[in-house]
C-alpha cells in the first residue's frame, strides 16, 4: 500500500516533468530514488513481535518437549526413590528410620533452586565408566535436582498413607502369618496407592512448573528457548509480553487439566 | 519362667489330654499400666473356651498374646508345643497354627473374597494357585458364601464379611482358632449366621477360644468359661456352674447386667 502511494506521488512528479526543465527531471529522479529507498527501508523494518513469535514457535515447543521429558524422568526417579524412603521412615530399625527421616526432611525443607545449584556443582561433568566416558548434560543434572525435593515429599506422602491404614489390617495380615515385609508389599502399600494418588499428581504439577528453573543453567527448555529466540530476533523489549504470554498459556494448558483431575480424584476419594 | 510349663521339652503329642494352649502367670504392661496381672488358663485340644468380662478387663490383650500379636513381660504361653514368650520364637510358625478373627473383620478391602481367602496359603504356605483356589472355594462354600467369590469386602454385609474372615483364617489350616468379639459389630439378625458358622467349627473339633458377650451362645457351646475382671481371672468353670452358681461378686454383678 505504501509502495502504491509512493508510485502515485512519483508519477505526479513525472507528469509535472513534461512541463518543466531537465533539471527538474533529474530532481524528480533523485526524489524517486529516495522514495524507493524509503520504501525499501520501510519494507525491512522488523516484523511484528507476534510474527517473530510464530516464526520461533516450533523452537519453543521443542524446548517445551524437554520440560515434559524432564518432568517425566524426574517424577519417575522421585517415585522410585521416594516410595522406599517413605517405607524406611516407618522401619522398626532405629537407624534406618532416622536416616530416612533426615533425608526426607532435608529435601522437603530446602529451596529447589539451592538444590539445583548444589547438584550442578557437586555432580561431575563426565563420568568415567572404565571403557567410555559419559558426559552428564545439564538437563540431566537439572532432572536429578528436581527429583530430589519431590522425592522427599513423596516419601512423606507414603509415610502418611502407611500410618493411615487401619492397624486392623496389620493385625489380620500378621495373624495370617504374613511377615512384616509381605504385609507391607501385599496389604499396606496397595491400599496407599489410592490414598496418595491426588497428592502425587499435585507434586507432578508442581515439579513440571519448576522445570523452567533449568533455564538458569542454560538448558534449552521452553523458557530458555524463548529467551534465545527473543535474543535472535533482535532482543526487542516488545517481544517480552507476547513471548511470556505464550509460555504462560503453554504451561497452563498442560497443567490445568492435571489440576482438575487431581481435584476430581480427591473428591472421589473423600466420597468413598 | 519355664517352671510352670506343664510339659517341658516334650510337645503337644505327649498325651491327648495335655492342654494345647497353656498360659501360666502371664503379666502384661502398657508402660506402667498393668493390663494382665498374672493370668493362667488351659485349653484342651478340641475344647471351646469362652472368655467373658467387662470392657477393659484385658480380654483382647489376652487373646492377642496367644498368637504373639501382643507381647507379654512375664509368664509363659505354650501353644501346641511352642513357647510364645521366648526371644527365639518363630512367630510365623506359631501363627500358622493359630487363626484369629477380629470384631472389625479386617478384610483386605483391595482384594476380592476369593483373593482374601487365597492370599495367606499362597504367600505363606506357598501353595499352587490351583490348589489354593480350590480350597478357598470349598471354604467359602463352608461359610455359605458361594457366589460371592468375586465380590469386594465393601459390597458385603457385616455378617458376610465376618464369615469371609473366618474362611480366610481357616485357609491356613490352623489347629486353634481365636475369636475376639466377632459378633459385637453385627446387627442381631446377622449375629446368628456367624454363630452358626462357629458352632459348626466347634462341632468339627476345632479348638476355639472366644471372647464374647453372647451369653446364650457361650452357655451353649463352651466347655469352659473364664471370667476376667481388671486383668485377672476371677472365676472359671463349666458354663452351668459359672452362669447359675457364680461365687465371685464381680461375676454376679456382670452377669446380672448382661443377661
Ligand atoms: N495399645 C495399648 N496401649 C495402651 N493401653 C492399652 C492398649 N491396648 C489396650 N490397652 C489398655 O489395656 C486394657 C485392656 O484392654 P483390652 O482391649 O484387652 O480390654 P477388653 O477386655 O478387650 O475390652 P473390650 O471389651 O472393650 O474389648 C484397657 O485398660 C486398655 O485401655
Ligand atoms: Mg476387646
Q: What angle do CA A63, A66, A67 make, to 5 degrees?
A: 95
Size of interface A-B (CB pairs under 8 A): 58
Residue having the nearest C-alpha atom to atom 1 of ligand 1: B30
Closest CA to B119 of A102, A162, A267, A172: A172
CA distance A88 to chain B (A): 22
Written as nine digits, the cell of B160 is 458376610
Domain boundaries, chain A: 1-45, 48-271
CA distance B105 to B124: 20
Beta strands, E only, B17-131: 19-30, 33-44, 48-52, 74-79, 82-83, 98-101
A48-271, superfamily in CATH?
MetI-like (1.10.3720.10)
**Predicted local distance difference test score (pLDDT) of residue A130:** 78
Beta strands, E only, chain B: 19-30, 33-44, 48-52, 74-79, 82-83, 98-101, 176-180, 207-211, 224-229, 232-237
| Best of B35, B180, B212, B228 for a ligand 1 pocket test (most atoms within 8 Å of beta carbon) | B35
Share of chain A above pLDDT 70, in %: 83
Residues pairing with B34 in the sheet: B29
**Predicted local distance difference test score (pLDDT) of residue B13:** 45
CA distance A35 to A42: 10
What is the chain A residue with the closest CA to B102? Answer: A172
B183 lines ligand 1 (CB under 6 A): no
CA distance B253 to chain A (A): 32
Contact A67, A211 (CB under 8 A): yes
pLDDT tens, N- to C-terminus, chain B (259 residues): 344 444 334 444 445 578 999 999 999 999 999 999 999 999 999 999 999 999 999 999 999 999 999 999 999 999 998 999 998 999 999 999 999 999 999 999 999 999 999 999 999 999 999 999 999 999 999 999 999 999 999 999 999 999 999 999 999 999 999 999 999 888 888 898 899 999 999 999 999 999 998 898 999 999 999 999 999 999 999 998 888 888 888 888 888 887 6
Per-position b or e across A143-163, b if 16+ CB within 10 A of its CB: bbbbbbbbbbbbbbbbbebbe
Cβ-defined contact of B120 to A169 (cutoff 8 Å): no
Residue B233 phi, psi (nearest 5): -90, 115
Encode pLDDT of A27-40 as tens digits.
666 676 666 655 55
B35 lines ligand 1 (CB under 6 A): yes
Q: How far is the CA of A98 from the centre of ligand 1 (A)?
A: 30
Q: How far is the CA of B180 from the centre of ligand 2 (A)?
A: 7
Q: Which residues have CB under 8 Å from B78's CB, separation 6+? A: B5, B6, B7, B19, B21, B22, B23, B24, B84
* Interface residue B172 vs chain A (CB under 8 A): yes
* Interface residue A176 vs chain B (CB under 8 A): yes
Written as nine digits, the cell of A50 is 507476534
Q: How far is the CA of B216 from the centre of ligand 2 (A)?
A: 19
Pairing of strands B48-52, B207-211: parallel
CA distance B106 to chain A (A): 6
Closest CA to B184 of B155, B151, B206, B217: B217
Chain A interface, mutation test: which of B65, B106, B136, B175, most A Cβ atoms within 10 Å?
Answer: B106
* Interface residue B102 vs chain A (CB under 8 A): yes
CA distance A221 to A229: 12
Cβ-defined contact of B92 to A182 (cutoff 8 Å): no
**Predicted local distance difference test score (pLDDT) of residue B188:** 85
Written as nine digits, the cell of B181 is 468379639
B30 lines ligand 1 (CB under 6 A): yes
Contact B42, B21 (CB under 8 A): yes
What is the chain B residue with the closest CA to A167? Answer: B106
* Interface residue B169 vs chain A (CB under 8 A): yes
* Interface residue B168 vs chain A (CB under 8 A): yes
Q: How many CA atoms lie within 13 A of B14 on its CB side?
A: 14
**A248/A35: higher pLDDT:** A248
Predicted complex ipTM: 0.89
Chain A residue numbers with beta carbons less than 8 Å from the beta carbon of B108 are 169, 172-173, 187
Closest CA to A148 of A126, A129, A123: A123
Closest CA to B101 of B194, B26, B28, B24: B194
A121-144: average pLDDT: 85
B145 lines ligand 1 (CB under 6 A): no
Provide the residue count of chain B: 259
Q: How confident is the model at residue A52 (pLDDT cuts 50, 70, 90)?
A: confident
Q: Which residues surround ligand 2, an ion (CB under 5 A)?
A: B 60
pTM of the predicted structure, to 2 decimals: 0.83
Pairing of strands B82-83, A132-135: unpaired
Cβ neighbours around B245 below 10 Å, total: 11
Mean per-residue pLDDT over chain A, rounded = 87
Check whether A25 has a pLDDT greater than 50: yes
* Interface residue A190 vs chain B (CB under 8 A): yes
Q: What angle do CA A8, A14, A16 make, to 5 degrees?
A: 110
Per-position b or e across B143-170, b if 16+ CB within 10 A of its CB: bebeebbebbbeebebbbbbbbbbbbbb
Written as nine digits, the cell of B94 is 506359631
CA-B31 nearest atom, ligand 1: 4
Encode pLDDT of A163-201 as tens digits.
999 999 999 999 999 999 999 999 999 999 998 999 999
* Interface residue B92 vs chain A (CB under 8 A): yes
Q: Which residues have CB under 8 Å from B26's CB, separation 6+? A: B36, B38, B39, B40, B62, B65, B72, B74, B75, B76, B77, B85
**B135/A130: higher pLDDT:** B135
* Interface residue B165 vs chain A (CB under 8 A): yes
State how far Cα A122 lies from the chain centre. 23
Residue having the nearest C-alpha atom to atom 26 of ligand 1: B55
Encode pLDDT of A64-119 as tens digits.
999 999 999 999 999 999 999 999 999 999 999 999 999 999 999 999 999 999 99
Long-range own/partner contacts, residues B23-26 (CB < 8 A, 24 or more apart):
B23/B62, B23/B65, B23/B66, B23/B75, B23/B76, B23/B77, B23/B78, B24/B75, B24/B76, B24/B77, B24/B78, B25/B74, B25/B75, B25/B76, B26/B62, B26/B65, B26/B72, B26/B74, B26/B75, B26/B76, B26/B77, B26/B85
Encode pLDDT of A219-243 as tens digits.
999 999 999 999 888 888 888 899 9
Q: Which residues have CB under 8 Å from B213's CB, separation 6+? A: B52, B181, B183, B184, B258
Cβ-defined contact of B106 to A187 (cutoff 8 Å): no
Cα maximum dimension of chain B = 55
Among candidates B64, B104, B124 on the partner chain, residue whose Cβ is nearest the Cβ of A177: B124
Amino acid at each position: 500500500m505504501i509502495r502504491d502511494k509512493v508510485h502515485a506521488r512519483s508519477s505526479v512528479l513525472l507528469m509535472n516533468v513534461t512541463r518543466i526543465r531537465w533539471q527538474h527531471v533529474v530532481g524528480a529522479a533523485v526524489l524517486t530514488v529516495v522514495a524507493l529507498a524509503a520504501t525499501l527501508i520501510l519494507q525491512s523494518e522488523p516484523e511484528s513481535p507476534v510474527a517473530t513469535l510464530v516464526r520461533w514457535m516450533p523452537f519453543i515447543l521443542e524446548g517445551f518437549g524437554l520440560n515434559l521429558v524432564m518432568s517425566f524422568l524426574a517424577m519417575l526417579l522421585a517415585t522410585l526413590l521416594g516410595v522406599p524412603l517413605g517405607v524406611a521412615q516407618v522401619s522398626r530399625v532405629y537407624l534406618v528410620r532416622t536416616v530416612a527421616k533426615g533425608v526426607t526432611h532435608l529435601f522437603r525443607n530446602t529451596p529447589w533452586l539451592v538444590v539445583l545449584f548444589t547438584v550442578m556443582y557437586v555432580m561431575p561433568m563426565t563420568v568415567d565408566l572404565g571403557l567410555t566416558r559419559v558426559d552428564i548434560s545439564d538437563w540431566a543434572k537439572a532432572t536429578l535436582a528436581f527429583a530430589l525435593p519431590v522425592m522427599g515429599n513423596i516419601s512423606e506422602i507414603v509415610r502418611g498413607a502407611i500410618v493411615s491404614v487401619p492397624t486392623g489390617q496389620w493385625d489380620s495380615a500378621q495373624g495370617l502369618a504374613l511377615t512384616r515385609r509381605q504385609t507391607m508389599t501385599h496389604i499396606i502399600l496397595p491400599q496407599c496407592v489410592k490414598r496418595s494418588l491426588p497428592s502425587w499428581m499435585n507434586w507432578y504439577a508442581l515439579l513440571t512448573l519448576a522445570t523452567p528453573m533449568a533455564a538458569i543453567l542454560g538448558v534449552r527448555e521452553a523458557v530458555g528457548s524463548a529467551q534465545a529466540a527473543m535474543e535472535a530476533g533482535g532482543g526487542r523489549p516488545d517481544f517480552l509480553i507476547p513471548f511470556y504470554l505464550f509460555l504462560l498459556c503453554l504451561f497452563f494448558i498442560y497443567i490445568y487439566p492435571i489440576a482438575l483431575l487431581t481435584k476430581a480424584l480427591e473428591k472421589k476419594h473423600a466420597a468413598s | 519362667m519355664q517352671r510352670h510349663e506343664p510339659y517341658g521339652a516334650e510337645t503337644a503329642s505327649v498325651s491327648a489330654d495335655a492342654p494345647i494352649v497353656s498360659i501360666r502367670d502371664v503379666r502384661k504392661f502398657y508402660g506402667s499400666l498393668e493390663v494382665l496381672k498374672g493370668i493362667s488358663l488351659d485349653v484342651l485340644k478340641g475344647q471351646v473356651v469362652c472368655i467373658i468380662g467387662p470392657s477393659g478387663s484385658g480380654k483382647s490383650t489376652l487373646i492377642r498374646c496367644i498368637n504373639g500379636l501382643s507381647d507379654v513381660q512375664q509368664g509363659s504361653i505354650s501353644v501346641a508345643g511352642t513357647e510364645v514368650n521366648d526371644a527365639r520364637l518363630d512367630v510365623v510358625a506359631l501363627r500358622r497354627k493359630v487363626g484369629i478373627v477380629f470384631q472389625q473383620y479386617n478384610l483386605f478391602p483391595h482384594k476380592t473374597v476369593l483373593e482374601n481367602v487365597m492370599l495367606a496359603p499362597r504367600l505363606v504356605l506357598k501353595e499352587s494357585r490351583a490348589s489354593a483356589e480350590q480350597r478357598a472355594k470349598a471354604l467359602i462354600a463352608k461359610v455359605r458364601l458361594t457366589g460371592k467369590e468375586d465380590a469386594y469386602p465393601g459390597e458385603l454385609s457385616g455378617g458376610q464379611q465376618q464369615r469371609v474372615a473366618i474362611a480366610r483364617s481357616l485357609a491356613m489350616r490352623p489347629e486353634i482358632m481365636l475369636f475376639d468379639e466377632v459378633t459385637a459389630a453385627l446387627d442381631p439378625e446377622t449375629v446368628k449366621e456367624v454363630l452358626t458358622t462357629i458352632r459348626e467349627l466347634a462341632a468339627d473339633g476345632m479348638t476355639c477360644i472366644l471372647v464374647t458377650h453372647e451369653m446364650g451362645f457361650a452357655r451353649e457351646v463352651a466347655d469352659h468359661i473364664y471370667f476376667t475382671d481388671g486383668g485377672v481371672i476371677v472365676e472359671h468353670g463349666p458354663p452351668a456352674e459359672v452362669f447359675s452358681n457364680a461365687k465371685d461378686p464381680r461375676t454376679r454383678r456382670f452377669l446380672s447386667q448382661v443377661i
